[in-house]
Structure 1
Amino acid sequence: MTGTGPRSGRRAGVGVLLGCLLTLAPAACTGGSGGTAPPGEGGQAAEGPIVVASGLDVTGSGSVRQQLIEEWNRAHTGSKDRQAKLVELPGGADQQRSQLLGALQSGSARYDVVNLDITWIPEFAEAGLISPLPAGTGAATDDGSDFFPQVHATTVWKDRSYARPFNTDVGLLYYRPDLLKEADMEEDKLPTEQWTWDQLYSAVKTLGLDPVRRDERAGWTTQLKQYEGLTVNTVEAFADAGVRLTDREGRYSSSAGQLKKGLDTLLDRVDRGRVQPGALSSDETASLTDFVEGRAVFLRHWPYAYGALGGLMAPDRYAVNRLPGEAVLGGQNLAVTADSPRAEDARALVTFLTSRESERCLLDAGFAATRASAYEPSASRCWPSVAAALRPAGDAPKRAGAEEDVPKGQDQEAVDAYLRTLEDALTEAVQRPRTPYYGAFTQALQSHVYALLADETPDTDQAATALDRELRDVFAGR
């Protein structure tokens, strides 16, 4: 790559990240952790609330998870010992995983239910930290029959289901119709549900974009900082190239040659897509900021960004479609901890939190619901008290300026089209590797891929050989 491409700007440094336009997560709630409570003795139920540990709510919707917990509590006002309490863990996904592993392994915190990233289920199940669900509570039951099959599959390890799908996620393509219109983009070059990456590259070429600095407009942007966002983007590129890293049992099934194909595909997205030079230091907040402020025409992001954009931009300045090619599945599942003294009550709470009504609440708040029925016109309505307490998704982060200047989001026709797009994307989403060694895998992948992207003269042959060697050890547990 020549010195005028995006990576030369990175080599010199992209400068200090702009101040966050969005505050996508509320302050962490750190109460509720104490000594491990012993199981009830003498047939007596364990005392105290059912404690749910979860990451932060990124929707900015008034904490729908907390509102669902309060709805459960209202339904059990006459039973003190069936009350529930939400504990939100601070930090990113990697930090939350470490906190939960440490707490459950040491018994230093009494959690009855844990909200786990879908990639952690095999690790927590293999370590005996969460309990398999009793027979008759899986996707085949009447209660679970409308979970998206591939979403429910994230709860399963070694043919046993260990959790219930809570909220899901999938990569989407956001774009700026106003910027395309300014450039007199022809109608046949605008994004459609069948768009390919080659069509995105063609659109970027037509726009004449070739940014070197972060303050210049780029073709697209995404999350290439060295964290889980980089893993997601890499796995999506690998999937588009036909690269599958593991089989369904979590055994490594790729090769150096296959990895090179995947890495070349990722570099194409960076180079031919004229990625925003700041993408190598961008997470979800930074990439969304660049998109809002016009430094990228296209954006790869998660569903909650749709609601956030409604509070930040006029409706005619943003639109969304399916991501070209493969899109990776994200989300969280609710599991009951192996040593919970409240297992029966905890399972009842999990069933409530993943009910049809609760899933609709999650969708209304900006999360992607895990049940296909939530997207139907005849869907169960959100619990009335929860619906009344929620702000429209994305309403919390505001633009600078007067309150009355904040946009009100898309009209109902556009929202309905978005929900159809989201449902279709979830139906065909791909998973990241299913393995108890996911933590080691994602760290290894991020390290090698980030070094490759930061290199002015990247050598995908060399990078693929080194990555193949390390992944063979990682997936073997060495």
Structure 2
Amino acid sequence: MKQRNRLAIAAVLTCTAALTAGCGGGSSSNEASSALEGRGPITYVAGKDEEGVTPKIIEAWNKTHPDEQVRFIELSSSADDQRQQMVQNAQTKSDAFTVLEIDNVWTTEFSANRWITELPKEQFGIDKLVPTTVETALYRDRLYGVPATSDGAMLYFRKDLLAKAGVQPPKTWDEMRQACDKVKALPEAAGMSCYAGQFEKYEGLTVNFAEAVHGAGGVVTDENGKPHVNTPEAKRGLDALVEGFNSGMIPRDGITFKEAETRRAFMDGKVVFSRAWPNQYSHASATDGSSPVADKFDVAPLPGVAGPGVSSLGGHSLAISSFAKNKATAVDFIKFATAPEQQRLRLDVGSLAPTARELYEDPALQAKYPYLPLLEKSIEGAEPRPRVIKYGEVTDAIQENVYAALRGEKSSEQALADLQAQLEALTGQQ
């Protein structure tokens, strides 16, 4: 992340810690609080709960709030579908949705369109969160969500096979290619491919493309939202992905992989390395017989094309629909649902990355989850995806052009030139 962004976040946290109203030109605490009135039943709207955490959190709240019950509205597992349903609810000004669990890249779009309500910074203890996660919840220095989970990608690798081949976890794509050649020469690795990521035409492709570009020294958009994809650095990143498929380093069916397919390929012993979020750790380490690679894998930082890799910043914030009723209840529920106790539950049940710094520093949790220090570094050094108002159209353009390049339907040069033109039109910046 650029230093100016880190300084901006530091300024925001300083203002929050001091309980300063209107920091950075934002509205006052009283103005933000005045719209948060009304008590009674509310809804909690989120994507499909693969880990089974959300019902536990809601049940704990409902037990002690008989007059302010929360009902869970579970949407699709597809981030694109979730966003579309939330947008449709906002465009019709429906009060059916109250608390929204939004992907951190939607904050700018939802805030700029006034689909979610500004929150008073000083009420949510954001100075105690990992700073990069706070940035994703801000729009024009105002708080519009509270980071509930984060995500930093890690490189999962077969430590048993790397040890037998006498190689260390790679720091670059070239090192990963060389490590794979040695591992695949082992009888135990017969038929294995090298690497799996998320390359189906969906949001995961935007994430993986951004990581390839950042890992090659480039950016997709700068801190002002100006696109920079028609550059030598972006081409180097995209070329690495294209060459990965052309050379067989990435399996041919990897073009269809989302997170679940990546996880299965790694756990079934089909790939040596995989790029994945921390929730893959709990699945791969299961000792109930469901994971053939339990005790046979470890994690390392992502490798980059030109040096150490850079994760895209994942995660979700809790926001309040501008059209909802009972917003005072929603505020209290968000405080409850984002508290360290609930973040610990998400970590324990689903390996969902916390946003509270104290959990990363907890010796007991570090002993239980040895990857936590690595995950914290991944999140602290992560780069956000494009923070633009028309994010849905921007990510569609990225997916369309990158997917075409991976399938050989466009050259890297043509894909990036087309993408640059489309992003300039969507962002109004040339």
With normalisation by structure 1, the TM-score equals 0.74
Report the equivalent of 1:76. Answer: 65
Give, in whole Å, the separation in 2 of the partners of 1:45 and 1:467: 45
Q: Is the Cα–Cα contact under 8 Å of residues 437 and 477 in structure 1 kept in the other structure? A: no
Shift of 1:316: 2.6
Shift of 1:46: 5.4
Out of 168, 174, 179, the residue aligned to residue 203 of structure 1 is 179
Report the equivalent of 2:344. Answer: 360
Deviations 1:301-346 (A, max 9, x none): 1110000112323533222222221111111100011122211111
Q: Indicate yes or no: 2:296 matched with 1:320.
A: no
The verdict on how the C-alpha distance between 1:273 and 1:355 changes in structure 2, with shifts beyond 3 A counting, is farther
Q: Indicate yes or no: 2:117 matched with 1:131.
A: yes
Shift of 1:111: 1.4
- 2:71 aligned counterpart, secondary structure: strand
Shift of 1:257: 4.3
Out of 245, 251, 262, the residue aligned to residue 226 of structure 2 is 251
Give, in whole Å, the separation in 1 of the partners of 2:315 and 2:121: 24
Give, in whole Å, the separation in 2 of the partners of 1:351 and 1:247: 32
Shift of 1:127: 0.9
- 2:147 aligned counterpart, secondary structure: strand
Give, in whole Å, the separation in 2 of the partners of 1:135 and 1:240: 33
Give, in whole Å, the separation in 2 of the partners of 1:109 and 1:91: 22
The verdict on how the C-alpha distance between 1:378 and 1:310 changes in structure 2, with shifts beyond 3 A counting, is closer
1:101-112 to structure 2, matched below 5 A, reads: 101-108=87-94, 110-112=96-98
- 1:51 aligned counterpart, secondary structure: strand
Shift of 1:421: 1.8
The verdict on how the C-alpha distance between 1:152 and 1:178 changes in structure 2, with shifts beyond 3 A counting, is same
The verdict on how the C-alpha distance between 1:91 and 1:355 changes in structure 2, with shifts beyond 3 A counting, is closer
Counterpart residue identity of residue 93, structure 2 = G
Q: Is the Cα–Cα contact under 8 Å of residues 184 and 192 in structure 2 kept in the other structure? A: no
Report the equivalent of 2:412. Answer: 460
The verdict on how the C-alpha distance between 1:303 and 1:135 changes in structure 2, with shifts beyond 3 A counting, is closer
Q: Is the Cα–Cα contact under 8 Å of residues 51 and 113 in structure 1 kept in the other structure? A: yes
The verdict on how the C-alpha distance between 1:471 and 1:334 changes in structure 2, with shifts beyond 3 A counting, is same
- 1:136 aligned counterpart, secondary structure: helix
Deviations 1:408-466 (A, max 9, x none): xxxx85x442122212222211111111111111111111111111118x622222222
Count residues with an aligned counterpart.
Answer: 380
CA RMSD in angstroms comes to 2.4
Report the equivalent of 1:350. Answer: 334
1:81-230 to structure 2, matched below 5 A, reads: 82-108=68-94, 110-137=96-123, 143-181=125-163, 184-186=164-166, 189-191=167-169, 195-208=171-184, 216-230=191-205
Deviations 1:233-279 (A, max 9, x none): 10000101222222323233454445323322433544568112211
Report the equivalent of 2:9. Answer: none
Mark the runs of 5 or more structure 1 residues left unpaired by the alignment.
1-43, 210-214, 382-411
Q: Indicate yes or no: 2:378 matched with 1:425.
A: yes
Shift of 1:206: 2.1
Report the equivalent of 2:53. Answer: 64
| Structure whose CA Rg is larger | 1
- 2:370 aligned counterpart, secondary structure: helix
The verdict on how the C-alpha distance between 1:244 and 1:137 changes in structure 2, with shifts beyond 3 A counting, is farther
Counterpart residue identity of residue 191, structure 1 = P
Give, in whole Å, the separation in 2 of the partners of 1:228 and 1:104: 21
1:459-478 to structure 2, matched below 5 A, reads: 459-476=411-428
Shift of 1:153: 0.4
Report the equivalent of 1:303. Answer: 278
The verdict on how the C-alpha distance between 1:477 and 1:96 changes in structure 2, with shifts beyond 3 A counting, is farther
Mark the runs of 5 or more structure 2 residues left unpaired by the alignment.
1-36, 304-308
Give, in whole Å, the separation in 2 of the partners of 1:369 and 1:135: 19
Report the equivalent of 1:33. Answer: none
Q: Is the Cα–Cα contact under 8 Å of residues 200 and 273 in structure 1 kept in the other structure? A: no
Shift of 1:368: 0.6
Q: Is the Cα–Cα contact under 8 Å of residues 162 and 169 in structure 2 kept in the other structure? A: no
Give, in whole Å, the separation in 2 of the partners of 1:137 and 1:247: 31
Q: Indicate yes or no: 2:404 matched with 1:451.
A: yes
Deviations 1:358-408 (A, max 9, x none): 1111111211111111122268x9xxxxxxxxxxxxxxxxxxxxxxxxxxx
Out of 339, 345, 348, the residue aligned to residue 323 of structure 2 is 339
- 2:295 aligned counterpart, secondary structure: helix
Q: Is the Cα–Cα contact under 8 Å of residues 256 and 468 in structure 1 kept in the other structure? A: no
Give, in whole Å, the separation in 1 of the partners of 2:121 and 2:197: 41
- 1:315 aligned counterpart, secondary structure: coil
The verdict on how the C-alpha distance between 1:347 and 1:46 changes in structure 2, with shifts beyond 3 A counting, is closer
Shift of 1:229: 1.1
Q: Is the Cα–Cα contact under 8 Å of residues 260 and 460 in structure 1 kept in the other structure? A: yes
Q: Indicate yes or no: 2:236 matched with 1:261.
A: yes
The verdict on how the C-alpha distance between 1:474 and 1:206 changes in structure 2, with shifts beyond 3 A counting, is same
Q: Is the Cα–Cα contact under 8 Å of residues 39 and 329 in structure 2 kept in the other structure? A: no
The verdict on how the C-alpha distance between 1:237 and 1:363 changes in structure 2, with shifts beyond 3 A counting, is same
Shift of 1:219: 0.8
Q: Is the Cα–Cα contact under 8 Å of residues 227 and 420 in structure 2 kept in the other structure? A: no
Report the equivalent of 1:55. Answer: 47
Q: Indicate yes or no: 2:394 matched with 1:437.
A: no
- 2:165 aligned counterpart, secondary structure: coil
Give, in whole Å, the separation in 2 of the partners of 1:472 and 1:115: 29
Counterpart residue identity of residue 354, structure 1 = T
Give, in whole Å, the separation in 2 of the partners of 1:253 and 1:287: 29
Report the equivalent of 2:5. Answer: none
Of Structure 1 and Structure 2, which has the larger fraction of its residues in helix? 2
With normalisation by structure 2, the TM-score equals 0.82
The verdict on how the C-alpha distance between 1:45 and 1:291 changes in structure 2, with shifts beyond 3 A counting, is closer
Identity, % of aligned positions = 32
